[in-house]
Amino acid sequence: MKLWAVISLSLILGITILSCSKKRVINTPLPSTQGWTPQQSPTDNTLYGVNFIDLNNGWAVGEKGTILHTTDGGANWSYQTSNTTDDLKDVKFVNSHLGWVIGYHGLIRLTTDGGTTWNPANSTGTDETLWGCSFSDSLNGWAVGEHGAIVHTTDAGSTWVAQGIGVTYEWLKGVFAYDSLRIWICGKEGLILKTTDGGRNWVEEQSGTTMNLNGIIFPESPLEGWTGGKYGEILHTTDGGETWEKQVEGGADWHDGTVLECLKGGVYFVDNLHGWGVGKWGRIVSTLDGGTFIHYDDKGRSTYGDYPGPGWVVEVDRGSPQYDLWGFYAIKNLGQLCVWAVGAHGRILFSRVAQ
């Protein structure tokens, strides 16, 4: 009898340890945002990208050449003249003066005066529609798009050249430049590419998914990063992309609208704890612990309910109708996070998160 008791206790302890190590349980509830507030948008055009350089100065871009600018954190947005009617898919600024927009048929425009004037690049290196761009500094940047387009600049965006990868990929959506040597790209059917020499050579990483991936980021180090996309799939790496683990399993059963159909802009992290993703029907997912922990309340009940995965919370834009959201950005400053989301019909949302 004693022997069986010891064996039973050992099995129970073993199962408990394995379960906890897999779920990484923490017994505190997730902090929450202070709600999402719509900001007054002057456009009805879909907005695809948004970027801020501090708590006040930001830009949003979208359909028909739309560029919006704010100097007060989004309390007021005004138009900037883009001199194009082509759709703009992404925007990046490295300071209050120098920035870039990319879009339809290889369009790239740059500004050196905060957007007062936007000028076309001397050459863009491609005629393909570009979906994502990233700059490691004021000189070096990359943009990616349809039919495997990868273009690179070393002169602050004045001229761009194509970087060949030897294989034609159908669709590249997101790019992140950690520095001028280490860059990651994601795209169709789980594709993740990495370079450690500035793009002279690209290596395909094994993501372990066939879901389309729409954005990728390594916020604090070249080891820990996230990517996300179709059906709300979210992947995490702690070894620079050598291996990827699913934090959220994408699935067609999520089409009921309780979670997400698609993280349209992938995921965005401001550090290794605080991350967000936005998608269809105004859905917003967020994590304040790197997306790894299951949270329990003081009665031992899981607090994540219909959340897409451990440590990820689903929120909903309460506006009516609930428009698709495409882009996201966050700024961390003085103990708080200020976050913006943009989407269809010029939708702009704002929230603060206490740290």
pLDDT for the residue numbered 253? 37
Number of domains into which the chain is organized: 1
8 A C-beta contact, residue 290 and residue 280: no
4 domain-assigned? no
CATH number, domain with residue 104: 2.130.10.10
**Position 120 in a domain:** yes
**233, 209 in Cβ contact below 8 A?**
yes
Average pLDDT over residues 241-249: 88
Mean pLDDT of 255-281: 75
Q: Is residue 3 part of a domain?
A: no
14 within domain boundaries: no
Please indicate, yes or no, if residue 17 is contained in any of the structural domains. Answer: no
- Spatial distance between the Cα atoms of 98 and 81, rounded to a whole number of angstroms: 16
Asked whether residue 24 is domain-assigned, the answer is no
Q: Is residue 67 part of a domain?
A: yes
Contact 175, 134 (CB under 8 A): yes
Residue 96 resides in a domain: yes
Instruction: Provide the token pair at 158.
Output: 């004045």
145: pLDDT strictly greater than 90: yes
316 CB neighbour count, 10 Å cutoff: 13
Residue 222 pLDDT class (50, 70, 90 cuts): very high
pLDDT mean across residues, the chain: 83
Name the one residue in this structure whose structure tokens are 């005066």.
113
Q: Which domain holds residue 147?
A: 31-354
pTM (2 decimals)?
0.85
